[in-house]
Structure 1
C-alpha cells in the first residue's frame, strides 16, 4: 500500500491548512489518482500533527472524482487516513465527513440525469 505524506502538497512549509479546489485538483494530478483509482490501488494518506484541516474545496478537488466514480464505500476502503496524533485526527475527520457529504450533493452531468429521473 502506497503511503502519501499529505503535508508535502501544501503550497509552503509554513501553511498548515489545505485550501482551494484548484490546489486539490493539482494534488490529484500530481499523485496520479485517476490511474491509481482505475487500478484499484489502496493508498494511505498520512497527516502530520500541526496540520489543522482541509477546506471542502480542496477535498472536492482531490477526492470528488473518486467518490463520484467509485462510491463512498470504495473510497473509504481504499483511501486510508493515518494521523500522527489524536488531535489532528479529530480536526480532519470532521472535514472528511463534511467533504464526502459535499461530494454527494454536487450536481454532475452523470448524476443530473439520475436525479431528474428520480433515482436519487
Structure 2
C-alpha cells in the first residue's frame, strides 16, 4: 500500500517499511502460505519489493496488513473481500484523521455523538 522510502541514518531493522523478509519467512511469520501472500499482492493489498534476483521481500508493515487479511479469511471471508475490507478500513481511518486535523486547524471543537 505504501511504498518504501529509505530513511537515511536509521537502522533498517527498526524501519517498519524495510523489506527484510523473504517469501518463506513472511509466510511463516504470518501463519499463511506463499500462495496466500501472492494472492494479497494480486489483489493490490500489498506490493512486496523485489530483490536484485527478483525475489519478493516483505516489510513488517506489509506483514501486519497480511495478518489483518488472514484474520478475515479465517473467519470465512473470501480473500478478495478481505483485501477490499482492509483497504476500505485504512481509507476510512485516514479520512477520519484528515477530518480531525482539518477541524483542529479550523478551531472547531471535536464533533459529538449528537452532531
Q: TM-score, normalised by structure 2?
A: 0.28
Q: Which is richer in helix?
A: 1
Higher relative contact order (CA 8 A, sep 6+): 1
Q: Which is richer in strand?
A: 1
**Higher CA-based Rg:** 2
Q: TM-score, normalised by structure 1?
A: 0.27
